[in-house]
Chain A
């Protein structure tokens, strides 16, 4: 036991001191948070500037009403979001107006302009002309308001009771509420659910890739400089294996600890909603078991491969399996009881990330937790035994990578 601890301490201290570890510790969560929060921030955040929108209104009935309607949109500093500019001019032809306005857009004097062409009784042709076609939100608002004005005009013209007219124009929005256990109401929306699960899976994946590579790299180093021979003539291969896994797990726990600190700070700073940390303890259990499971797999691989390139390839493939649940996240969120989701949450390779996802989508039955944790536990022990056998022989076979046939032979040796 003393030797195992000596090895674990060495593996831990030598790796925790490396610059790459320290950098990855901080950079990884930052990158992940950036990637996962950026789209939300970009789509949800109001563009904080007043936009000047030109209006060419041949019907003459929309400009003022539209101006009134759009006044409801304010920026954070209570400035209006839109200022409408009436471009109508009786002395000019429509074509002239259009060219002039186009030029104003290009010169950035106005953001864009609405070109309302009244060609008949109820037939309107409306263009919104701007340099930027991606501005769905503005366009949706204009559409909604213009339609509202149009309908209101018509209802007024037909002498409908104004209160009925108002009723007709009101629409109802459905609020989505996630039901937690025992009738509690969760207030999180889809994006929070998705991204908080996504963050955890990404963190797990980064951690697995990172420490997997550290482990494999150190094994390759020890193999190539034959330190492995001194190690193996000082302790048994089982002790060496146990020490390495222990040291690496400690490294992983350090990462989790520091990332949690970062997470808590971010919650404090209201960057991440506290809801992201619901069920955090049970999720940590999956996180850690997943990490150890993958680490044992990497030990097996590390003792087979002989060059860093080979190692890189192998680690990449394995890590892709981990991220698979992110790919199926959408359908899983829409239908957490689907066959695929259930199956994936019983396969050891995908259990950790799948369960991280499931905890975020819907309450997970206790029985599922018990079953999956048992699967993890048993499969970790099995892979550990296999890895130990490969490790014992693999670490001393230099040069060529063993064939599958040779590997099976190794496994058969007692």
Chain B
């Protein structure tokens, strides 16, 4: 279990992390969400012991993350990069050995991962001969090759095409069933919604909300409907029943006030536009996220 208690990180004149606490259990994906500059990466760096917190502590299975514990952590940083002039296999082995793997075991695992991600034929190529997506795969391998108990992925899907995103997603799910502790930091709400069981929403270094995704949806979900239509719907946003409305081409998502019955709302608008589809929907995490951040 990973436990973060009252973490504070101050830089010279800013507070990057302002007293946050959370815990991550094995076998779940913990989503650390927030807009750009919210303090996600700083939080991760503190957890990884890359930077020291001003106060608070990080415990991994009740112990501080130092020395040997570093060998049980896998980290995929947001900004990717590798030694461009070095060979794929050499780079992977270097980082595997830095995680205290034996060389023979590292070679075995590296080959198996290269095959699994379908880049075995680049094994002896230089990094800069690989496409950007394949370089990312190499970096992904580096973060998981030593079979770490704690996995930290910072925006793991950026730079991957949809097929590879799917592949990486499946791999991450497989780590869940292996009982690993996984932290996923992202601002892509769709990804978080699909993967995470628990989320922690961070803004300006402070906790906005946290908990099980299903609870958060219930709590902040509200009253949402989806309409498909033809005609002009600009009048909807000025209706008394409506809080917000997102209008697309011939499709709109409407956030109704809690007291409004969706069926009453439907009756009111059928006179003005042709409706081809009407349904009550669960709000997307994206919607909740935007609303919460705006409220803040």
Footprint of B on A, CB under 8 Å?
2-3, 6-7, 10, 13-14, 18, 221, 224-227, 229-236, 396
Contact = CB atoms under 8 A, between A and B. Distances in A.
- Chain B binding surface SS class: loop
Nearest to A406: B12
Contact of B100 (A2, A14, A226, A236): A2
B79 A225 contact: yes
A18 B85 contact: yes
Contacts, number: 59
Given A6-B97, A6-B98, A226-B77, A233 B49 contact: yes
Contacts of B45: 229, 396
Contacts of B195: none
B199 interface: no
A232 B50 contact: yes
Contacts of A13: 90
Interface of B: 45, 48-51, 67, 70-71, 73, 75, 77-86, 90, 94-95, 97-100, 142-143
A236 B90 CA distance: 21
A18 B98 CA distance: 22
For A3, A6, A224, the residue with the greatest tally of chain B CB atoms inside 10 Å of its CB is A6
B167 to A, nearest CB: 22
Nearest to A413: B52
Contacts of B51: 396
Given A6-B98, A232-B48, 12 more contacts: A3-B98, A6-B97, A13-B90, A14-B90, A18-B85, A225-B79, A226-B80, A230-B143, A233-B49, A234-B71, A234-B95, A396-B51
Contacts of B75: 229-230, 233
For A221, A233, A236, the residue with the greatest tally of chain B CB atoms inside 10 Å of its CB is A233
Contacts of B73: 233
Contacts of A234: 70-71, 95, 98-99
Given A227-B82, A396-B51, A10 B100 contact: no
A229 B80 CA distance: 10
Contacts of A236: 67
A370 B186 CA distance: 60
B34 to A, nearest CB: 19
Contacts of B97: 6
Given A18-B85, A235-B70, A230 B95 contact: yes
